[in-house]
Structure 1
Amino acid sequence: MDMSFSADLEPFRQEVRSFFANDYPQDILEKVRGGHSLTTPEVRKAEMALGAKGWLASAWPQEFGGPGWSIEEQYIFDEELERAGAPTVTPMGVIYVGPVIFNFGSDAQKEKWLGPTRSGEMGWAQGYSEPGSGSDLASLQFSAVRDGDEFVLNGTKIWTSAAQHADWIFLLARTSKGERKQQGISFVCCEMTRKGVTLVPIIGIDGKHYLNQVVFEDVRVPVDYMIGEEGKGWEYSTYLLGNERTSYARIGAKRKMLSDLKEIAKAAPMGGNEALYDDEVFKLKIADTEMRVDGLETTVLRILSSVAEGGSPGNEASTVKILATETHQRITELMVEACGRAAQIGSPDCASPDWSQDALTSYAPPSVSAYFAGRAQSIYGGTNEIQKNIIAKRVLGL
């Protein structure tokens, strides 16, 4: 397999790199590099900067307002975004629900939702997980009961990422009961400001607000807020989850983290004039982790190659979810190990690291924050155990 990119793509890479260096909001970059959380206006500002360039919906076809990039161009864009330290594009809109809308939605739904989602003006949340359901998504109890030309929504969604920034939420809701749990589930959208919708923040162990519980009490939405056919929500969600699991890879971000890890290790004293980076055992750990990133990238490129030939991520995308999760956790473990005692000092809300002035103290808090946040990766989006079952049953046929 040829892992190299064509030289013809180099001008495109330089264009993207120049945009982040010169035209992208630099205050956003500084805040993210410093380990600070973005406010809702800042999230909108960051995404609208990409939307104004026509780059937010980077994987959308031109037919629906996307740039129409090749798989290689999309990959390079993601690399450069992560290399610049820009915030990850909130995936719930342009990566998850957008393709569901333009593949299965009505013309009216496309007109209503695609434009503002593509521009970054409209934020989305994903209402899948429920209290007590674990990774058994099909066991959901959230209900959407038809009442004339409306659905009445009742139930609770939990672990809802970025819902505090969202204008809309797309939901899996049970509209009827079938012989199998996967039957009778529909794909419904709702404004976060609808009467009866209550958002309850969930604060992480690092003190940051990533997650939420969202409670729906007799929330009424028009029937035409349902995407596609009633009872086919499971089919649409399966399509969405393939895109979700490949989006976890974030190769550029992991290479940036490895670069930072090496700088931390060079600043970490080992005694005498030696630093942790000079320790052969630690260098082997870094080398092993670099190979894991290489392996992850190869896997992603194989899947994307299939997509470029007209396929879809499919069940094989579960391998990306597992590899990406374990690799991220390994990198953050090494970062905390390299920071040593400095990892116990300070708060996650810290200054941008300055390698020339007390690098460990400045970089330790965001390293610890990344470590804690990364623990959840092997649970959300379908646990690693669930992913292994998918691979065993649906890929290997065991």
Structure 2
Amino acid sequence: MGVLTPLEDVLRTAAPQVLGAVVRRYGDFDLSEDAVQEALVAAARQWPAEGVPDDPRAWLIRVASRRRIEMLRNEEARRRREALPPDPVPEVRGDDELTLLLLCCHPALTPVSQVALTLRAVGGLSTAEIARALLVPESTVGQRISRAKKRIRDAGARFVPPADDELAERLPGVRQVLYLIFNEGYTASSGSSLHRVELSAEAIRLTRQLHRRLPHDGEVAGLLALMLLTDARRPARTRPDGALVPLADQDRTLWNRAAIEEGVAIVTAALRDAELGPFQLQAAIAAVHDEAAVAGQTDWPQILALYRVLDVLAPGPMVTLNRIVALAEVDGPLVGLRALDEADAVLAGHHRVAAVRAHLLERAGAAEEARRQYLLAARLTLSLPERRYLESRASRLR
């Protein structure tokens, strides 16, 4: 799946609004989601031949509502009832998409189920599209979505705008789901392709919507800025043959300058106006990288300072590893290697640890040990482009 066609864009944009209206009217996420999916399928079949209606959203709501009423009639028929009274078509409300996103990220669901359900219900992707994007069988995605809807029903969750305290409690989970979707699209954790553009693009689109709903949330702004600043480098991350190009070697003229300018503006405003948070710090780090015209002009002392703050606010193995990389850029590879040894217990097991160690060893002149570490990192990664890159680094040190 590449660039969306105008029809696909209309359907994808309308899908969460239609689902929100139908769920709010009938109060049953499970069956309402099925009805909306059938309406989307009907539109995909009919509109190319008949033309897109003047009001596509209203058309979809009417078709989905009729299908939901048919389902209700079938249910009532099983209870020996013949028909239902006329039912008005539900309206669309401005807070529907946020309410729907919160419902898909319900804490009763596992992260993988939250991702699948969000892509289906809020993103408007079909089960087949989600399966292709996540590189899992379509049946697996279908099972995840079915189980997720059942868990939401069993948890007694209702389609209502959350109170302020509930929104504050649930929002970190929503942001994390969107971040997971983006990361899996930007650097695929497995498979032959480094990027799954449809996932990163969908994450950016959904985060834009969330930012429009919550313009004063500094971490939503930081997340959107981080996505834009990171995705701006995508055109330069691979060669025509799919080979990985590290950040320092990328042709920066290929970077998306409009996305960089937008991301810088968003994170600058968030850092000025909102309480500091991890996504804002990560976006600020990405901005420092993106604003350097060439790799040699990168302000590594500033990046190191930002990582030290991030290590306090949101400590974790990857934050520690990135802080060590910045430290080595400022104070040299031997200092970085010592820091890596000191943090080994926290970092052990991830292929990027071996890759960073190899890079620092190579800079320090320990070619043979660097080669062994590159090969170790290559064995540990599940990404074919990363494996090829690491093996090529090792082969140059023979």
- TM-score (normalizing by structure 1): 0.26
Q: Which structure has the higher relative contact order (CA within 8 Å, separation 6+)? A: 1
Relative to total residues, which structure has the larger helix share, 1 or 2? 2
- TM-score (normalizing by structure 2): 0.26
Q: Which structure has the bigger radius of gyration? A: 2
Relative to total residues, which structure has the larger strand share, 1 or 2? 1
